[in-house]
C-alpha cells in the first residue's frame, strides 16, 4: 500500500506547479494529466488553476481550496496544475 505524500508548501504570492512539487523530498513526481485529490491543510486556502504554464492570478479562472475544507479532485488528462496563495499554506496532494 502506498504511503501518503508529504504536504506541498505554497509560499505566499508564489505559483507552485503541483505535479512537479510531488517529487520533492525524494519522491517520484506524479505524471501530468493524472487525476489528483487535493486538500488545503494549512491555515490558509489556495487558488488552483489547470494550465501548462504559470498563470496570472488576476486574469485566470480558478478553483479555491478552503483551509481544512472538503477535498477537491481535478479531471484526468489535464495539461498542468498550479496553486497560489496570498499567505503561506500547505496542500495535501495524492493520486486519485
pLDDT score for 58: 86
Q: Please give the Cα distance from 74 to 27 (Å, whole number).
A: 21
pLDDT score for 2: 66
How confident is the prediction along the chain (96 residues), in pLDDT tens digits per residue?
A: 467 899 999 999 999 999 999 998 777 899 999 999 999 999 999 999 999 999 998 888 999 999 978 999 999 999 999 999 999 999 999 999
Helix intervals (H) in the chain = 18-21
Q: Please give the Cα distance from 28 to 47 (Å, whole number).
A: 24
Q: Please give the Cα distance from 4 to 94 (Å, whole number).
A: 7
Amino acid at each position: 500500500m502506498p504511503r501518503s505524500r508529504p504536504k506541498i508548501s505554497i509560499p505566499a504570492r508564489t505559483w507552485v506547479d503541483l505535479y512537479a512539487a510531488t517529487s520533492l523530498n525524494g519522491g517520484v513526481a506524479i505524471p501530468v494529466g493524472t487525476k489528483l485529490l487535493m486538500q488545503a491543510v494549512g491555515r490558509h486556502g489556495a487558488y488552483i488553476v489547470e494550465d501548462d504554464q504559470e498563470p496570472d492570478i488576476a486574469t485566470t479562472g480558478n478553483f479555491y481550496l478552503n483551509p481544512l475544507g472538503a477535498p477537491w479532485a481535478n479531471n484526468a488528462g489535464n495539461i498542468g496544475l498550479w496553486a497560489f496563495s496570498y499567505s503561506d499554506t500547505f496542500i495535501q496532494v495524492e493520486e486519485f
